Amino acid sequence: MKLRGKKQALSEISATQSGYFTAKQASHVGYGMDEQGAYRLKGSWLYISKGLYRLPGYEDTLESEFIRWCLWSRDRNEQVQAVVSHASALYYHALLPEKPDQVHLTVPRGFRKKIPDGIIVYRDGTEALDIIDNGAFRITTCQQALRDCQEKEKNLYPKSVGAGGASMTPSYGETSVGRGRKAGFTLVELLVVVAIISILAGLLLPMLNRAVESARQTQCKNNLRQIYLGFLAYADKWSSFIPPRHCKLSGYTYDLSWHDHIAQQLEEPLFYRQKGIFSCPTRGEGESISPPEAQGCWNPPYGINAYHSPDFTYPPAVMVKLSRIAKPTQWLLVGDASWFYIRRNTTMQPYVSSRHSGGLNLLYFDGHASRQQKSDELFVGSCWDQ
């Protein structure tokens, strides 16, 4: 055969085997032993192992690794003996997350080749295996691979007694794998399971916490919208005025805040301060009260805009009409707070509370509620009308 014809024929054979070919395959297309040695010395053929070569330029893949070891296992008649099995087959079928360090092969019981590094050989025989033939290599089905791995775990390092008291061990050769171990999990397997559970928990718990907080933010906004209905009812009753943030009334043994006026309009229960719309679901019990003088007082979860709600405990004070608000979509009415009113950042504390993942829910004079991240812009913006 001419050189060009031989080269083409060898290229066609190696192309179906990820670049690999055997010395006998090269001889079959016309390369003599002297030519084979010359090509090997020139580097035109890459020497893999005895009687096995590869043409340069082919990428190393999982399939190419399987093909290499299956070609290595061929007998004198060039018949491939090995079948990819156990953990390697599970990884190939996407049933293992990580690639095994060594290729697992099952071979006939009479297989006699010396086992090199890089593979684990099971001398179980291949006759009864469920096999998929991929042309260049053979591999067990996913069901067969699962059965093989289960059998391996149940029957490791066997020791049985035969007739006459002779010890009997199966011919698993250099793999140190056999049959006869008691069923159960190894310590390594248990540690792997614990590690996987820990990783999954680490991934899922933050997502769960974010989902819970998102639901709480939604409930908080609903509270603010209900409070706005109380403002509308109060304004309808009192000629469009909104309640003062703080006042003293005859007949009451304590000062009234705007919460008390709104609760009356909404017919909230006596204990509205602990339950209902005046209780933010995200606020923790340990949230501190901002003003030092307020320690021991009720810590309200929502505060009213101090610039639109006067304090009648410090006269003179001017009532504000809801109908006179010039920019209802931009000006704040109520928001998350650690005191019963909020204000821009002056020499006093603003009292706003960023309890919702660094942000706070705000209610505007037109009745819409939205979340805003706490930032310096919030305290110097035009949303306060001051």
Give the list of residues 6+ apart from residue 54 with CB closer than 8 angstroms, or none: 14, 18, 19, 20, 21, 45, 46, 48, 68
Residue 200 token pair:
């999954």
Average pLDDT of the residues in 18-25: 92
Q: How many residues does the chain have?
A: 386
Amino acid letter, residue 348:
M
DSSP secondary structure letters along 239-274: TTBPPPSEE--TT-SS-EEHHHHHHHHHT--TTTTT
Alpha-carbon span 315 to 368, nearest angstrom: 32
Alpha-carbon span 7 to 151, nearest angstrom: 46
Q: How confident is the model at residue 290 (pLDDT cuts 50, 70, 90)?
A: very low
The overall average pLDDT reported for the chain is 79
Which residue has 């559970």 as its token pair?
197
Whether 274 shows a pLDDT value over 60: the answer reads no
Average pLDDT of the residues in 320-335: 86
Whether 171 shows a pLDDT value over 70: the answer reads no
- Is the CATH number 1.10.10 carried by domain 1-59? yes
Alpha-carbon span 172 to 95, nearest angstrom: 25
Residue 270 token pair:
């006596």
Give the list of residues 6+ apart from residue 285 with CB closer than 8 angstroms, or none: none
- Containing 234, the helix (H) or strand (E) segment is helix 187-237
The domain locations on the chain are 1-59, 63-184, 218-380
pTM, entire model? 0.45
Give the percent of the chain with pLDDT over 70: 76
Q: How confident is the model at residue 380 (pLDDT cuts 50, 70, 90)?
A: low
Whether 246 shows a pLDDT value over 90: the answer reads no
Residues 100-151: tens digit of each pLDDT: 999 999 999 989 899 998 999 999 899 989 999 988 899 999 999 998 988 8
Q: Give 131's strand partners.
A: 140
Give the number of other Cβ atoms within 10 Å of residue 309's Cβ: 23
Least Cα distance to 289 among 340, 229, 214 occurs for 340
DSSP code at position 350: -
Angle (deg, nearest 10), helices 187-237 and 258-266: 90
Angle at 98 between CA 92 and CA 102, to 5 degrees: 75
Q: Is the peptide bond before 316 cis (omega within 30 degrees of 0)?
A: yes
Average pLDDT of the residues in 19-32: 92
Pairing verdict, β 369-373 and 341-342:
unpaired
Alpha-carbon span 64 to 58, nearest angstrom: 9
Which residue has 């593979």 as its token pair?
119
Which residue has 């609760």 as its token pair?
263
Whether 184 shows a pLDDT value over 70: the answer reads no
Choose the weakest-confidence range: 37-41, 94-98, 209-213, 318-322.
Answer: 318-322
Alpha-carbon span 179 to 154, nearest angstrom: 7
Q: How far is CA 353 from CA 75, 335, 342, in A?
A: 78, 8, 9
Give the percent of the chain with pLDDT over 90: 29
Q: Which residue has the higher pLDDT, 357 or 43?
A: 43
CA atoms within 13 A on the CB side of 343: 15
Q: How confident is the model at residue 385 (pLDDT cuts 50, 70, 90)?
A: low
CA atoms within 13 A on the CB side of 330: 9
pLDDT at residue 178 in the model: 42
